[in-house]
Each structure stands twice: as structure tokens, then as C-alpha cells.
């Protein structure tokens, strides 16, 4: 199975504090816990040619993990279209944290994807709402993150196909933190935690959710559906 981690990789270069938390970039941190015997992981960043995303690379990718924040507007529309089309063909997509405002997530959702936010060291508790879901495997009743950015409802997304986590924050807000969607032949998972100034991706249970999500989002192995004018199967 092949996973491509796409990271904007700007905060790590602009802010020393972020670079200390993620010396190999957020993509490097995620790669370090996703790579296993059966998962091959590559990374790509915004400032590479084509943002590191080529047709050939996408064609052999099973799941893309997406982290972006400062520079959603700099992602070329033609690259967004390629990723979008690959999701419709069956490629999985895991959208993390501020990726809620990425062009590709907004295009897949068809809504504004806006939310409330606050950077004030809130504690976050992500409650498992669907204990039967494979993305929640190995997770207790909740995940507690000591300090995180707050995201609050209303989150302007379509009603999720499945809601796996709901977050509570010390400010009193709640948020739909783990949402799945089917789009075309592809599976999409939005996962909220991961503000760049906190060591969230070093936390084991957060890592476990992303590991589970990548396996869940792997394309279902089958021939692609045919469309258009069709001859009857029966004579």
C-alpha cells in the first residue's frame, strides 16, 4: 500500500518554535509513525515543482494525507483537480486539522467548511461516538490532548456519512472532530487535531487514529465501474 503525505511546510520554515516541535516537518513526523512493512510512505510539499504531485505519482498512490494552513490559495487549481479526480476514482484522502479550508476538501464537500477557532491552550477531549468503527480501533473512551487550538461548531460541512469523534474544549465548545465521507469511489476522513504549535502528532493515540484511517481509506480492490450507454446482460 502506498501513502503520500502532502504538507504545506511553511510554518516549520517560518517559525522556530514549530521547527523545534517538528524538526523534519509535519510530514516527516507523520511519515515516521505511518511507515510499516506493508505501508510505503512518500512525502510532498507545496514548494516542490507541481507541489510534489504528478500524474504518475498520484496514479500509484492509495491514500493521500493532507496538511495545509497558510497557503491554501497557492495550491494550483489544476493540482487540486487531479487529487479530486483520483478521489472519485477510489483513492483515499485523510484531511488533517486546518486542511478543512484546503481547496480539495472544500471541493469534495461543496460547502464553506468554516468554523470557530481560538488559540488559547484549551484542553481537548475527543470522545469516541462510534466504537464499532475501524478508525476508533485501539482507542479508549476518549483521547485527551492537554493543549490544542480550539475548533468549535458550527462546522459548515455536509452531514458526515459517519461521525466517529466529537471534541469538547475547556472553553465549552464542541466540534465534530472525526468525520467520514464517500465521494465517488473514494473514502475521505477529516480529523481535527494537529495545530502546528503543539506536539499533537507525537501523541500515541492521535497517531493510532491516523494509522487506522489510512488503512480504512485504502481503495476497495475491484474493477472501476463502467458508465454510459449499456447493452442488456440478458438476451
Q: Which positions touch Zn ion (CB under 5 A)?
A: 98, 149, 195
Least Å from the CB of residue 175 to Zn ion? 13
Contact of 175 with 115, CB cutoff 8 Å: yes
Least Å from the CB of residue 39 to Zn ion? 26
Least Å from the CB of residue 200 to Zn ion? 10
Residue nearest to Zn ion (CB): 195
Q: For the stretch 200-209, what's the b/e string if a residue is b when 16 or more beta carbons lie within 10 angstroms of its beta carbon?
A: bbebeebbbb
Name which of 45 and 200 has its Cβ closer to Zn ion: 200
Contact of 88 with 187, CB cutoff 8 Å: no
Least Å from the CB of residue 217 to Zn ion? 22
Contact of 195 with 148, CB cutoff 8 Å: yes
Name which of 87 and 104 has its Cβ closer to Zn ion: 104
Name which of 103 and 215 has its Cβ closer to Zn ion: 103
Least Å from the CB of residue 169 to Zn ion? 13
Q: How far apart are CA 194 and CA 24, in angstroms?
A: 15
Q: How far apart are CA 171 and CA 117, in angstroms?
A: 11
Name which of 97 and 187 has its Cβ closer to Zn ion: 97
Give the DSSP per-residue string, 104-146.
HHHHHH-S----EEEEEEEEEEEEES-TTSGGGTT--SEEEEE
Name which of 187 and 195 has its Cβ closer to Zn ion: 195
Amino acid at each position: 500500500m502506498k501513502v503520500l503525505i502532502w504538507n504545506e511546510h511553511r510554518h516549520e520554515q517560518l517559525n522556530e518554535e514549530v521547527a523545534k516541535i517538528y524538526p523534519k516537518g509535519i510530514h516527516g513526523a507523520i511519515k515516521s509513525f505511518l511507515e510499516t512493512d506493508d505501508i510505503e510512505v512518500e512525502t510532498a510539499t507545496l514548494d516542490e515543482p507541481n507541489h510534489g504531485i504528478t500524474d504518475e505519482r498520484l496514479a500509484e498512490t492509495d491514500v493521500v494525507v493532507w496538511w495545509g494552513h497558510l497557503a491554501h490559495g497557492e495550491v494550483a487549481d489544476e493540482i487540486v483537480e487531479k487529487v479530486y479526480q483520483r478521489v472519485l476514482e477510489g483513492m483515499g484522502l485523510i484531511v488533517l486539522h486546518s486542511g478543512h479550508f484546503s481547496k480539495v476538501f472544500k471541493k469534495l464537500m461543496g460547502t464553506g467548511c468554516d468554523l470557530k477557532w481560538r488559540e488559547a491552550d484549551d484542553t481537548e477531549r475527543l470522545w469516541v461516538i462510534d466504537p464499532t468503527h475501524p478508525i476508533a480501533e485501539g482507542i479508549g473512551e476518549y483521547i485527551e490532548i492537554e493543549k490544542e487550538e480550539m475548533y468549535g461548531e458550527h462546522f459548515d460541512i455536509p452531514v458526515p456519512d459517519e461521525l466517529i469523534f466529537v471534541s469538547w474544549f475547556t472553553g465549552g465548545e464542541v466540534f465534530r472532530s472525526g468525520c467520514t465521507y464517500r465521494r465517488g469511489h473514494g473514502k475521505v476522513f477529516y480529523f481535527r487535531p494537529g495545530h502546528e504549535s503543539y506536539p499533537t502528532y507525537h501523541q500515541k493515540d492521535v497517531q493510532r487514529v491516523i494509522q487506522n484511517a489510512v488503512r480504512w481509506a485504502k481503495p476497495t480492490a475491484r474493477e472501476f465501474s463502467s458508465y454510459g450507454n449499456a447493452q442488456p446482460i440478458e438476451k
